[in-house]
Amino acid sequence: MQRRRICNIEVPAIGLGCMNLSHAYGTPPDAQAATALLQRAFDIGVRHFDTAALYGFGANERLVGKALRSLRNDIHLASKCGMTGVDGKRVIDGRPETLLKTLDEALQRLQTDHIDLYYLHRWDNNVPIEDSVGALSRMVESGKIGAIGLSEVSATTLRKAHAVHPIAAVQTEYSLWTRNAEIAVLDACRELGAAFVAFSPVARGFLAGSVKNPGNFADKDIRRQMPRFQSPHFDRNTQWLGDIAALAQEAGCSMAQLALAWLLAQGEYILPIPGTTSLAHLEENLGAASLRIDSDILRRAGELVNHNTVSGARYPAATQVEIDTEEF
C-alpha cells in the first residue's frame, strides 16, 4: 500500500474511519463483529484509526480502546472533541474547560495515556477558535495528545488556529461528489504543511453503488435527512452513476476503488479514511491504494462527478449552519 505522512509519521495511505461501528447508519454491528473488523484492519495494513467522543456518545472510543489496546504502540490513533453527547443530544461546545474534560474521558475510554492526533470536531462559533486551540495546545504540552487537528473548518479559520499552534491535519468530507475542500482548504493545508484527512470518501456508500433505495435506510440512518439521498436529488444523481460504473469496469476495479484512487491522486498529503462494517468492503477499500489506474480514467471520473453534476446539498439546512467550510 502507498504510504503518506501525518503528524510527522508515515502511515499507509488509507486509514479506517471507525464511526460506522457505533453510530449514524442504523443498528451497528455487535461488539464481537466490530472488534473482529478493527483487528482485521490492522492485520491487512491499517495503522491510522479515527474515532471521536461523539460516535455512539463514547461507545466508539470504548470499542476502539478495547479492541486495539494490545496494538496501541503500533497504530496512529486519532479522536475528536468539541462535539459530544449530552443527555442523549448532540452538543457542540468548544470551551476550553469542556475540551479538557472530554480529553480525560477519552483517554479512559481509549485505555491509553495519549492520543496521537486530537481534532476539534466542530468549531463552536460562540468560542473564538484561538481559545479552543489554546486549550488543545496545553494538551500537547502535557503530553496527553501528540498533535492538533481541526474538522470541517474554512481556510480562514485554519490559518487563525495555525497562528496559535501548528495544525497537523484537517479532516473534512472530500470525494468526487463533495468538492468544497477544493475552494480553499486544500491549498491552505498544502501551504501550512498540514495533512488533509478525507472522510466519507465513497460518498456514504453512494459511489460504491451500494445505495439502491434510500427508502430502505434504517430509521436512525443519518442519510435519511441528507438532501442528496432524497427526492428529487437521488434520482438525478443516479443518472450518472452508471457512467462511473462503466469507468470502474474499464479500469478493472470496483466503483469504490475508483473513487478512492481518484482521491489519492489529488495530492500526496491527502489520506482517505473510509468506514465500513463489512470485512469484504474493508479489504476492497484498502486494495485501492495498490492500484495503478490510468490518469485519463481518473480525469474522466472527475469530469463526470463534481459540484456541477451532483444534485442536492450534503447536509440538511439545520446542520449546514454548524459547518464552517466554504460552500460553492
Catalytic residue among 25, 55, 174, 269: 55
**Which residue matches cell numbers 460504473?**
245
Residue 233 CB neighbours (<10 A) = 16
SS3 45: coil
SS3 16: strand
Return d(Cα 228, Cα 311) in angstroms, integer: 6
Grid coordinates given for 62:
470504548
Quick one: how many helices (H) and strands (E) in the chain? 11, 12
Query: Which residues, in sequence order, are CB contacts of 150 under 8 Å at separation 6+?
Result: 119, 120, 123, 157, 158, 161, 167, 169, 170, 171
**Does 25 participate in catalysis according to the annotation?**
no
Q: What is the DSSP letter of 166?
A: -
CB 169 within 8 A of CB 119: yes
Q: Which of 21, 119, 4 is nearest to 64 (CA)?
A: 21
Q: Which residues are catalytic?
A: 55
